[in-house]
Amino acid sequence: MLIKRTSILTGVFREKEISVTQEQLDLWESGTLIQLAMPNLSSSDREFVQTGIVDEEWESLKSEDD
């Protein structure tokens, strides 16, 4: 499913193909923990669904701290 999100860190809008069903999204949106609603997803994909943040943004943020 094509998921569209805007990063809460950078404001960049992205689209990402993620192996998730509408039923899983509905479960999460109704309050189920994302790990339980979407156990098949990687932590990176779950982060994108929740916040729009991608791995490269986290890496960039870590680099700025060093």
* 21 CB-side CA count, 13 A: 7
Write down the residue that tokens 């994302």 correspond to. Answer: 34
What distance in Å separates the CA atoms of residue 1 and residue 29, rounded to the nearest whole number? 16
User: Which residues of the chain have a pLDDT value below 50?
Assistant: none
Q: What is the pLDDT of residue 63?
A: 76
Q: What is the pLDDT of residue 62?
A: 78
Three-class secondary structure assignment of the chain: CEEEEECCCCCCEEEEECCCCHHHHHHHHCCCCHHHHCCCCCHHHHHHHHHCCCHHHHHHHHHHHC
Q: What is the pLDDT of residue 60?
A: 84
Q: What is the pTM of this model?
A: 0.88
